[in-house]
Amino acid sequence: MNTSIQSFSLQPSAFSVPKVVLAATHHDPDDRLYEQIRCALPPIAEVFQAVAIQATHTTSARSLELLTAAGALVRRESAEHFAGYLLLGRPRRAVLELALQLDAQLLVLCDFDRMIHWATQHPTELAQVVAQLAAHDFTVLGRTDRAFNSHPRVQRDTETIINSLYATVSGFSWDVTAAARGLSRRATTAILAGCPDETIGIDVAWPLFLQHSGGFSLGYIATEGLEFETADRYGDEIAAIGGIASWLAQLDADPRQWIQRLDMARVEVEALLPYV
pLDDT in tens, the chain (276 residues): 332 333 344 444 433 345 899 999 999 999 999 999 999 999 999 999 999 999 999 999 999 999 999 999 999 988 777 778 899 999 999 999 999 999 999 999 999 999 999 999 999 999 999 999 999 999 999 999 999 999 999 999 999 999 999 999 999 999 999 999 999 999 999 999 999 999 999 999 999 999 999 999 999 999 999 999 988 888 889 999 999 999 999 999 999 999 999 999 999 999 999 999
What confidence score (pLDDT) does residue 58 get?
94
Where would I find the H helices in the chain? 34-47, 61-69, 89-100, 112-121, 123-132, 145-149, 153-170, 185-194, 202-213, 235-241, 244-252, 255-272
Segment (H or E) for 233: none
pTM of the full predicted structure?
A: 0.91
> 110 with 180: CB under 8 angstroms?
yes
What domains, with CATH codes, occur in the chain?
20-275 (3.90.550.10)
Which residues have CB under 8 Å from 161's CB, separation 6+? 265, 269
Is 54 in a helix, a strand, or coil?
A: strand
> 63 with 104: CB under 8 angstroms?
no
| CA distances in angstroms from 129 to 19, 252, 257, listed in the order given | 15, 31, 31
> 146 with 224: CB under 8 angstroms?
yes
83 Cα distance to chain centroid: 17
Provide, for the chain, the percentages of residues in helix, strand and coil under a 3-state DSSP scheme, each rounded to the nearest 5: 55, 15, 30
> 46 with 221: CB under 8 angstroms?
no
| CA distances in angstroms from 46 to 10, 29, 153, 198, 273, listed in the order given | 7, 27, 34, 32, 40
